[in-house]
Homo-oligomer: A and B are copies of this chain.
Amino acid sequence: MEEYQKIRIDVLKGFVVDVFKKLGMSEEDAEITADVLIASDRRGISSHGVARLGRYVKGIKNGVMKPKAEMRIEKETANTLLVSGEDGLGQPVSYKTMKLVIEKAKKNNVAFAAVHNSNHFGIAGYYSMMALKEDLIGISTTNSAPLVLPIFGKTMMIGTNPISIAAPAGQERPFVADMATSTVPRGKLEVYARKEKKIPLVWATDETGKPTDDPDKVLKNLLERAGGGLLPLGGSEEETGGHKGYGFGMIVEILTGVLSGGAFGPFVYGKKGEPANVCHFFGAINIDAFIPKDMFKENMDKLIRTIKASEKTEGKTRIYIHGEKEFEQEDIHQEVVDIYYKVVETMQDIGKEIGIEPPF
């Protein structure tokens, strides 16, 4: 049996848009959300692609995600925005807010927006990369369900809180970092559990708070909130830099939840059956306010080429720049994406349930 099914992007997108419309979303919002999900599959980040469709459908059906929500600008200046997502899906409010941030940065050099009362927004890199089309530096971050430990603690307090920064280059591909501030996201443990592999000791702790190599135990504890959880980048101790990953996670909580007046830390997804109040933070920097953008791009090329051409460690043949692997995946998946068979099955179930025939 083939593990992955090849599906045409236009066909897949049509189906996903139809699902969201059937659930009450506007054409525009359904298009945006489908595009963010499929961009993730195209970039090889299948954990954040259409594999998430089931969770969104469930969220809408449970009433904790509001498909008809229209974002509300609560406060606005020449270069800042405070936005409420009104408990709608994360993608439409994030896309529209980042558009506004980009316009403001083009006019006024730098701009930031904080968003509250939103939901999971897909890949952070989608929004930071929107700035690249305008030759700006893009910034995107979000808080998320509290699955990560402060070091020396055994109760999960912080989200996996990805940070994404995108910067244009000239001849080279842009730099696009998009990184959870935990060592790994939960999905990585699921992959190791499926393959019956042990996990490195910097990924997670058991219910007593000790680092463990058993992914099944951790996944069970996460679900039951039995103690322990995911470790911040750098692991459980200061000696290995765990306080730094924890620090980056905190910075995200501050810029998203605290600065927007929304939920932060353990209060995100705080009450079962109620909206999650996920919060985001977006930014854009106009390079021309500092140096001519052509000079910036030339220097980016120089930085990228110098690093890529530098000597490799034994056994390694290539040094990567952030985003490079994903751009290569995107090139391969221009018309067709590979979807894991279980994800295809779930989409077929969703289609049946809500009365839309999936065309695959």
Complex: A266 Cα to B305 Cα, angstroms: 12
Complex: A69 Cα to B306 Cα, angstroms: 31
Chain B CB within 8 A of A109 CB: yes
Complex: A250 Cα to B232 Cα, angstroms: 20
Complex: A165 Cα to B259 Cα, angstroms: 14
B112, A307: Cβ atoms under 8 Å?
no
Chain B CB within 8 A of A208 CB: yes
In the complex, what residues of B have CB within 8 A of residue A223's CB? Answer: none
Provided the pairs A109-B79, A311-B153 are in contact, do residues A245 and B261 lie with their beta carbons within 8 angstroms?
no
Q: How many residues of A contact B (CB 8 A)?
A: 86
Provided the pairs A80-B110, A175-B250, A303-B264 are in contact, do residues A183 and B234 lie with their beta carbons within 8 angstroms?
yes
Complex: A75 Cα to B286 Cα, angstroms: 13
Complex: A155 Cα to B308 Cα, angstroms: 11
Please choose the segment from A12-20, A30-38, A294-302, A326-334 that sits at the chain B interface, where 4 or more of its residues have CB less than 8 A away: A294-302
- A163-218 at interface with B (beta carbon < 8 Å): 165, 167, 175, 177, 179-181, 183-184, 200, 202, 205, 208-210
A190: shortest Cβ distance to chain B, in Å? 15
Interface string of A223-249 (1 = CB under 8 A from B): 000010000011110011101111110
Chain B CB within 8 A of A23 CB: no
Please choose the segment from A46-54, A92-100, A312-320, A345-353 that sits at the chain B interface, where 4 or more of its residues have CB less than 8 A away: A312-320
For A314, give its contact among B208, B243, B264, B314 (CB under 8 Å): B208
For A290, give its contact among B114, B165, B175, B233 (CB under 8 Å): B114
B157, A312: Cβ atoms under 8 Å?
no
In the complex, what residues of B have CB within 8 A of residue A159's CB? Answer: none
In the complex, what residues of B have CB within 8 A of residue A153's CB? Answer: 307, 310-313, 316, 319
B259, A287: Cβ atoms under 8 Å?
yes
A244: shortest Cβ distance to chain B, in Å? 4
Provided the pairs A287-B259, A295-B261, A313-B209 are in contact, do residues A319 and B152 lie with their beta carbons within 8 angstroms?
yes
For A210, give its contact among B184, B233, B260, B314 (CB under 8 Å): B314
Complex: A322 Cα to B306 Cα, angstroms: 35
Q: Contact residues of A with B, CB < 8 Å?
A: 75, 77-80, 82, 108-112, 114, 137, 150-155, 157-158, 165, 167, 175, 177, 179-181, 183-184, 200, 202, 205, 208-210, 227, 233-236, 239-241, 243-248, 250-251, 253-255, 257-261, 264-266, 285, 287, 289-291, 295-296, 299-300, 303, 306-307, 310-314, 316, 318-322
Give me 25 A-to-B residue pairs in the complex whose CB atoms sit less than 8 angstroms apart, sorted by A's number.
A75-B289, A79-B109, A112-B285, A137-B255, A150-B319, A152-B312, A152-B316, A157-B310, A165-B251, A175-B250, A179-B248, A180-B244, A183-B234, A208-B314, A209-B314, A233-B234, A234-B245, A243-B322, A250-B321, A258-B296, A258-B303, A259-B290, A261-B296, A265-B303, A266-B310
Q: Which 6 A-B pairs have the closest CB atoms?
A: A209-B313, A152-B316, A177-B247, A80-B289, A155-B310, A261-B291
